[in-house]
Amino acid sequence: MIINLNTLNRIYSMLGDDISKEIFKNRIMMSVSNNEIKWERGNVMTNRRIKEFIAIMEEQAKNRDIVIFGGGKRGKDLYQIINNIPWKYFIDTNPVEKKIGTIPVIAYENFVKNYHGECIVISSRIYRKEMERQLRRDGITDNIFNFGNILENMIQDQYFDLEIMRPISKNEVFVDVGCYDGMSSLNFGKWCKRDFTVYAFEPQKENFSLCKSTLENNNISYKLIQKGAWSEETTLKFKISMGMASQLYGKDEIEVDVTRIDKILANEKVTFIKMDIEGAELEALIGAQNVISNNKPILAISVYHRFEDIFSIPELILKYNPEYQFYLRHYSIRSSETVLYALPEAGIKGKNSRGAL
């Protein structure tokens, strides 16, 4: 992949704040450097919740040892990426390793017997509640810090936490491309605090049902499209993974229909488009050219699935509307979940709206 330096400079000049510029540089360096973890860590450290967490742990470290509860993937991520905390050791209910990195792994039952006031950081998002209940059931009620809640909050923040971003219309039209379980639509409603209609694209049968249930149970006005978003009307291979990680244009499994956003929403005044479709974002944006050019919606687009997304996606958006202002934010403790926000003038606080508010 050849990177055009003029393109990079142009995109960099359109980034609206220092956090965005730092994330942009880090993602470029992740792709061309032999020290990917350094730049990955740099992106993680831009997240406000991670900054708050580190500040709390630095204060805790003055008085007690800090340990990680959970030696699985998230625990290892925590240890490897947030390495400026003096981790003492791991505790794990079913340890399979004696050491992770340079620190020992202690069986949970031994830890409980010899507990002496350590600060315990729960590492898992999925099992965070069960792990906290386990500690409290075994008599440990103090100095528990549930990092799993931070991971969950980062997911809830994603797509809507940019402080400078404002709704465009009294009646918002939200396009959720890759809706999974419909929770992004709920989070959109909490953010915009006004009437809205959802157009949700979800080709996978199981996710389609989840999304429909969520939208109906919360009385959200919606139209659910059981197709993927793409640059043309066709049928593509769909690689099935569990939950949120299903991928278009995969090597195998099933075929699904895909369509253009321009075709489905030709007569709607779209105000916000969110996309997280495992690497198909660029093709979906090509199929949304008219909607973006004519309506100038706010865009929240995942730009971490492919190396070139960090520059090819904003480059395409600028072709549709050269006046978009860009912001980048990061929502995980690894390289995933980097979101590009593209804001028209009406979507920026402090700017004049189109008269719709």
What pTM does this model have? 0.92
Tokens of 133: 């209940």
Q: What is the pLDDT of residue 98?
A: 95
- pLDDT for 249 equals 47
Note the pLDDT of residue 233: 95
Phi, psi of 73 (to 5 degrees): -60, -45
Note the pLDDT of residue 340. Answer: 98
Distance, in Å, from the CA atom of 172 to the CA atom of 345, rounded to the nearest integer, reads 16
State the DSSP H helix or E strand holding residue 59, giving kind and residue range, or none if neither. Answer: helix 48-60
pLDDT of 243 reads: 44
Q: What is the pLDDT of residue 250?
A: 47
CB atoms within 10 A of CB 55: 10
pLDDT of residue 3: 73
pLDDT for position 234? 94
**What pLDDT, on a 0 to 100 scale, did the predictor assign at position 320?**
96
- What separation in angstroms does the CA of 329 have from each of 18, 41, 176, 245? 11, 14, 19, 20
pLDDT at 257: 92
Task: Tell me the helix, strand and coil percentages in the chain, rounded to 5.
Answer: 40, 25, 40
Q: Quote the CA–CA distance of 222 and 250 in Å, as a whole number.
A: 28
Regions of the chain with pLDDT less than 50: 242-247, 249-250, 353-357
Distances (CA, A) of 64 to 130, 138, 142, 292: 24, 20, 12, 53
